[in-house]
Amino acid sequence: MAPVKRRVFKTKKEMSGELAKYTADLSSKFCKERGIFTVVLSGGDLISWLWKLLEPPYIDSIEWSKWHIFWVDERVCGWDDADSNYKLAYDGFLSKVPIPEKHIYAIDNGLGAEGNAELAAERYEECLKQKVNQNIIRTYKSSGFPQFDLQLLGMGPDGHMASLFPGHDQINEKVKWVTFITDSPKPPPKRITFTLPVINCASYNVMAVCDKEQSDSVAAALDHTKDVPASRLTADVEVVWFLDQAAASKLSHGCCSIL
Ligand SMILES: O=C1O[C@H](COP(=O)(O)O)[C@@H](O)[C@H](O)[C@H]1O
């Protein structure tokens, strides 16, 4: 069982600094070992916390040309839609770093714009299978599920991660790699999402959460007081929760160090 670590920071700025260092260290490890670094992004606040990677020393030292970018979940819309996780990441991060465009694997733009959630999920799973066949994505031991090097995740106040929401069936999917939802409680209703087995096969999973609004769900997930999707998060090597003080404020005593 992979260790679940928690790191609590006084400010979001400090958290962003350490998140950048953690990501850069893994980038250097995987680029040296494999010549490739597969990174999975989520939407939401996470993208705004990647800003430190856009500054020295990281902007100049990271081997961006070896990065391959995927999304743990995506809203079913076109790439230019304000709801798009691709657009959020492109505007706030990807357009500012020299990752080759052909290494960026977004939802099919046409199916997204059409609103075809089922087909968009199937197409994204096909894309992952193609990247496995091209040895860009590794597979997990004997299970055959894709294994990403690093996933950068976020959690909503209800404890959802990716587009796996409490009380919705997608969390129980055991076979598919990518599934879809058409009645997401958080708008927009149509989304595609990695399934739990895929999320949990990643080598390293980071869960970055800030603000008081999320503190109940952080406690539920880490103290296991309630079963929310994020409480099921694990990984092959390690899971690290990056928290600010407000998000960590309801954790049981003595279990977190403030850095
Ligand atoms: O809708 C989504 O929400 C989660 C959490 O977002 P946050 O703004 O509360 O951090 C996000 O991780 C997911 O990718 C996104 O589609």
73 CB less than 6 Å from ligand 1? yes
Q: DSSP assignment, residue 182?
A: S
Find the 41 Cα to ligand 1 centroid distance in Å: 10
Kindly report the pTM of this predicted structure. 0.97
Nearest to 160 by CA among 44, 38, 12: 44
ipTM of the complex: 0.97
Q: What is the mean pLDDT of residues 69-88?
A: 98
Find the 88 Cα to ligand 1 centroid distance in Å: 11
pLDDT of 257 strictly over 70: no
Q: Which of 72, 76, 84, 155 to mutate to test the pocket of ligand 1 (most atoms within 8 A of CB)?
A: 155
**CA pair distance 147, 203, nearest whole angstrom:** 7
Can you give the pLDDT at residue 256? 54
211 CB less than 6 Å from ligand 1? no
pLDDT of 216 strictly over 50: yes
Q: What ranges in the chain are assigned the alpha helix state H?
A: 12-34, 58-61, 85-92, 109-114, 117-133, 196-201, 215-223
189 CB less than 6 Å from ligand 1? no
Q: Which of 12, 73, 214 to mutate to test the pocket of ligand 1 (most atoms within 8 A of CB)?
A: 73
**3-state SS, residue 200:** helix
Can you give the pLDDT at residue 8? 97
Closest approach atom of ligand 1 to CA 43: 14
Can you give the pLDDT at residue 258? 58
pLDDT digits (tens, 9 = 90+) for 26-49: 999 999 999 999 999 999 999 999
pLDDT digits (tens, 9 = 90+) for 11-29: 999 999 999 999 999 999 9
Closest approach atom of ligand 1 to CA 191: 16
Contacts with 67 (C-beta within 8 Å, 6 or more apart), sequence order: 27, 37, 39, 97, 99, 103
Q: Could you tell me what percent of the chain has a pLDDT over 90?
A: 95
pLDDT digits (tens, 9 = 90+) for 135-194: 999 999 888 999 999 999 999 999 999 999 999 999 999 999 999 999 999 999 999 999
